[in-house]
Copies of this chain bind each other. A is one copy, B any other.
Amino acid sequence: MPTTLFQDRDIAFLLYELLHAEELVERERFADYSREAFDAVIQTARQIAEEHFAPHRTRNDQEEPRVENGVVVMVPEVKTTVKAVAEAGFIGGTQDAGRGGMQLPHVIASASIGYMEAANVGTASYPMLTAGAANLIAAFGSEAQKEQWLPPMFNGRFTGTMALTEPDAGSALADLRTAAAPQVDGSFHISGTKIWISGGDHELSENIVHLVLARIAGAPEGVKGISLFIVPKKLVNGDGSVGAVNNVTLAGLIHKMGWRGTTSTLLNFGEHGPCVGYLVGEPHKGLAYMFHMMNEARIGVGRAAAAMSYAAYLHGVDYARTRRQGRIPGEKDPSKPPVAIIEHADIRRMLLHGKAAVEGSMALILQCSRLVDEQETAPDAAAREHATLLLEVLTPIAKTWPSIIGQEAISNAVQVMGGYGYAREYPVEQLYRDNRLNQIHEGTNGIQSLDLLGRKVTQDKGAAFKALVVEMQQAIADAQGTGVADLAAEFAKGVERMVATTKALVAAMPADPARALANANIYMDLVSRTVYGWLWLRQATIADRALATDAGMREEPFYRGKVHAARYQMLWELPKTESDAALLQRIDTVPFDMKDEWF
């Protein structure tokens, strides 16, 4: 059976031909690795994805977690799968070997986890949330906290959550009301309600470690008065064993359109007695800490979207190659056998859109992960700084665009499969439901767009944006003299549009920020399509050069596919930014001027 997770050849292309991941082994942190070792890690992840995750994707959706006698019950495969992930070391994948981590580069860990998310995101979220919570402790916790919490989180004894959102403060973290009362022993008593807490309750682990945002009594209003706490479901004894319950109460499970395998919970803290929390780092710095972690979490959401849409795309291709139906235009003889539907031009259009979308999304995600590696381990400071700038501007895009263009790709896979695509007997409809969440959680796409235009593009006199433009110009220069110079010329027009549009918006910002930011979502669309153009131009240039070699010609269909998908991106997707640019450059106010009472 062909894989319907990722195309392995593409992942290898992205890692090594596009992003030169093998160069990382020259760095001290990764000195124990080799390309072969990276590949072995990815193969392990793929095997876990296929043997553990994929087989219960449907079951985990159809028999979603439920509460019985106050206990969350779910299909048993989830527990064995989380155990397999922990045993293989992926929860602490990028963490220090000295703390029980694998000390992997982010780019290798990210590709690995992507296989699991492509196979079954509902189950993958438990280890991934645990990793996110652990990373936060690793970055900002005290030495004692690291020693206490990290080992059981890495080995799967404990799982973790991120508990930010409250019923009356969804995207508006400034309005958080959960309270933390200082105790004489230095701990705090937490009281409040959190909603949409993924993995907030279950029996998968001995304990659940909630990372909770709350206000210490007397803290300032708004975002400057929020602190971060470790709040375990059960208290932990001195010997590391799990003790008494800590008054974190499951007030209800939320039932969702998709992503059903992951419990989504309403949690009450301290409702029936003291709920102990341990401050992480300094008071009132919780949001800054959370945002540090959130950047990785945002790339993680983008990766989930890329992975799910990639899987759906491959299902669509597989179906289109085997399903025979109809005849091509001009063939009127009904006695001729029907053709495979991939012969129909509109089917190819939908799948080519999918290829450009999902391979483009994985390119973006792995690019971002590679930049995290640069940021953390590049030998010289200028390279680290450049990587940091690029990450600033790329992260909101990585969160947003894979969820948007990926949903289009999944919708196209549904459409390619027709009625079968809409039926629950086939996997793509679940992917359509699952991926829709990625536009919402971890900061809605609207929030990301405001972050991009209102913060990332303008801060430091536009340094991050300029770093991106430099990269784009480099890609254009690099394509000169190749067989894809025409695509570089198309892309250059797109870059010009992006730059001119950005200038116009930045110029309009001081006089009326609300008006200049009103169409941030359209700006996100424009920049995202341009960023995908950048990633595709680079892929096409590499592929074109490969096709000039004997080795490359032995893989001619693969490289031709890369060039052709780049052509699609440049001639079909990038021109959509023309009308966006016109609208943005005139600082259009049509939605801005709309009045409540006119709806």
A contacts, CB < 8 Å to B = 165, 168-172, 174-175, 195-196, 221-223, 254-258, 264, 317, 321, 324-330, 332, 334-335, 338, 340, 342-349, 351-353, 355, 407, 411, 414-415, 418-419, 421-425, 429, 432-433, 436-437, 439-441, 444-446, 449-450, 454, 513-514, 517-521, 557-558, 560-561, 564, 567-568, 571-572, 575-576, 578-579, 582-583, 588, 590-599
CB contact under 8 A between A349 and B440, given known A571-B590, A598-B557 = no
Interchain CA distance A345-B433 in the complex, whole Å? 27
Q: Is the CB–CB distance between B352 and A423 below 8 Å?
A: no
Inside 8 A of A519's CB, which chain B residues have their CB?
A: 345, 349
Smallest CB–CB gap between A414 and chain B, Å?
7
How many copies of this chain sit in the oligomeric assembly?
2
Interchain CA distance A572-B586 in the complex, whole Å? 12
A330's contact among B264, B340, B514, by CB below 8 Å, is which?
Answer: B514
Inside 8 A of A578's CB, which chain B residues have their CB?
A: 578-579
Inside 8 A of A174's CB, which chain B residues have their CB?
A: 326-327, 334
Interchain CA distance A345-B423 in the complex, whole Å? 37
Inside 8 A of A445's CB, which chain B residues have their CB?
A: 415
Q: What 4 A-B pairs are tightest by C-beta distance, nearest first?
A: A222-B334, A561-B598, A349-B591, A345-B518
- 14 pairs, A vs B, C-beta closer than 8 Å: A168-B325, A171-B325, A195-B419, A221-B335, A317-B599, A345-B519, A346-B450, A347-B446, A348-B592, A415-B444, A418-B440, A561-B598, A572-B583, A572-B591
Interchain CA distance A575-B591 in the complex, whole Å? 16
Inside 8 A of A421's CB, which chain B residues have their CB?
A: 440
Q: Is the CB–CB distance between A326 and B171 below 8 Å?
A: yes
Interchain CA distance A346-B592 in the complex, whole Å? 8
Inside 8 A of A561's CB, which chain B residues have their CB?
A: 597-599
Inside 8 A of A317's CB, which chain B residues have their CB?
A: 599
Inside 8 A of A175's CB, which chain B residues have their CB?
A: 325-326, 334, 338
Smallest CB–CB gap between A308 and chain B, Å?
15
Interchain CA distance A168-B341 in the complex, whole Å? 12
Inside 8 A of A334's CB, which chain B residues have their CB?
A: 174-175, 221-223
Q: Is the CB–CB distance between A257 and B422 below 8 Å?
A: yes
Q: Name the residue among A332, A344, A422 with the largest chain B CB count within 10 angstroms.
A: A422
A514's contact among B255, B338, B345, B564, by CB below 8 Å, is which?
Answer: B345
Interchain CA distance A264-B425 in the complex, whole Å? 13
- Besides A348-B591, A564-B594, 11 other A-B contacts (C-beta < 8 A): A171-B325, A256-B422, A329-B450, A329-B517, A346-B449, A348-B594, A422-B440, A433-B433, A564-B593, A572-B591, A578-B579
